[in-house]
Structure 1
């Protein structure tokens, strides 16, 4: 089992890893708080949430198995080299657990808050179902030969695929509405910080070990950072440049008839489309 050669690089690795954990973990809270304050989830794409739950659940399975299982760790070293360090850190497991929990909480908000006529699309349900059916089939394929590293790599592939897909509905929704209201930019800024810190953490390990195996040995983590950064930059452009927020007062009236301008505009758009 390989060990660190440089103490400063090891410390940098740990600091960057936990920076990524806190940034990514806190990135869930602005949206939850925004939903709570508005008592509404209008403007938040439900497909994004369902795909996000599938993504983080798959990523949790991968991280937890590779971090805790000596058998899978042995298979990893047999494939990539006996001196290679395991490319999953404690902060990765902690983040995955937290992400599944907060995504589930946000989905509960969808059930209890004003959502207009929004609903999960059949396409999203189909994609998520296909992912889990494929995972179940792979479990039975892996069982006879105990191909556990290959199996968790399947879950890693699922999380990468979901990462690519999950942002598209929200980005398209922003484009269609010409607005990012209801979609927290705080979430995006923290997500961007986490993605950059995550990538730098992997770089610290590679520099110390003189090997870039951890980048392709855990290709899911690598692609997770790159894809997240790409879409975060896209959302930042949408929020600050393409569709800057227009200030509007919101004052609820007795009887609950006062509604936010966002909700009114969504309802008008829905009425016109009927």
Structure 2
């Protein structure tokens, strides 16, 4: 018969697995509402191009980071050597999520070249400088440092993208005084995923007996905290600050606000002969 400690460990494993796959589903599904909204509107007006640039670049770095820790024995051994023998906390769901997120981010970015967008709707100089500067840093690290250092640099580039990517969208919402074109369902799912990811990270670190191990995966920790903070801001914008939902690119919304007038029928008393 299993003792209390064995049962507690088993319950902890189960809870961690449930949290991991639930946040994986929430974060993964969160990419689809924006893609569907763009498709429905046939427009990307209201969506920050900088946000998309940071998303694609960040998830590309994150996918490489997770792949290195998941598949490379030398990277995993180096992590263990630097962290008192502890294994890193990159799991299969983290790996699959990063691939899936990268693909959906690319799809959303591709929509900006196909659907209607504003004349001045393009990436900013700040985003371009961020991209070229960090890409040069990564290339330099490949030449001058170890693979482990370069992989960790990728994780911090992803973290940087996560911290700044929401700022252009929040500012765009403020400038337009509207969240039209920016899917709130994306935000709700992202918020849910951020909370669950943070909970799993802390739980796994506590179960390993080394709470500081939670900081051994700064990308996952930073992504969770950044998502929670900015999602609260976006929910405030959508539900409290900018509540006008009228979308000029939504034909259905237009017909509801401006019903098609009746120009008379055979039964209309206003029908007159030969009138304009």
After TM superposition, the score normalised by the length of structure 2 is: 0.85
Instruction: Give unpaired runs (5+ residues) of structure 1.
Output: 253-257, 262-274
- Shift in alpha-carbon separation, 1:165–1:248, aligned structure 2, 3 A: closer
* Residue 180 of structure 1: aligned partner: 179
* Residue 267 of structure 1: aligned partner: none
CA distance in 2, matches of 1:169, 1:136: 27
* Residue 251 of structure 1: aligned partner: 251
Count how many residue pairs are aligned between Structure 1 and Structure 2. 248
CA RMSD in angstroms, aligned pairs only: 2.0
* Residue 222 of structure 1: aligned partner: 221
- Shift in alpha-carbon separation, 1:195–1:90, aligned structure 2, 3 A: same
How do 1:128-167 residues align onto structure 2 when only pairs under 5 Å count? 128-142=131-145, 147-167=146-166
Report the Cα offset of residue 116 of structure 1: 2.0
Report the Cα offset of residue 217 of structure 1: 1.0
Report the Cα offset of residue 62 of structure 1: 0.8
CA distance in 1, matches of 2:251, 2:90: 48
* Residue 69 of structure 1: aligned partner: 72
How do 1:74-153 residues align onto structure 2 when only pairs under 5 Å count? 74-82=77-85, 84-117=86-119, 118-142=121-145, 147-153=146-152
Report the Cα offset of residue 166 of structure 1: 0.6
The question of whether the paired residues in 2 share the 8 Å contact of 1:5 and 1:208 is answered with: no
CA distance in 1, matches of 2:34, 2:247: 19
The question of whether the paired residues in 2 share the 8 Å contact of 1:80 and 1:213 is answered with: no
Higher RCO (CA < 8 A, seq sep 6+): 1
Instruction: Give unpaired runs (5+ residues) of structure 2.
Output: 1-6, 258-276
After TM superposition, the score normalised by the length of structure 1 is: 0.86
CA distance in 1, matches of 2:12, 2:71: 24
Report the Cα offset of residue 122 of structure 1: 2.2
Report the Cα offset of residue 91 of structure 1: 0.7
Which runs of structure 1 show a deviation greater than 6 angstroms over 4 or more consecutive aligned residues? 258-261
CA distance in 2, matches of 1:246, 1:39: 17
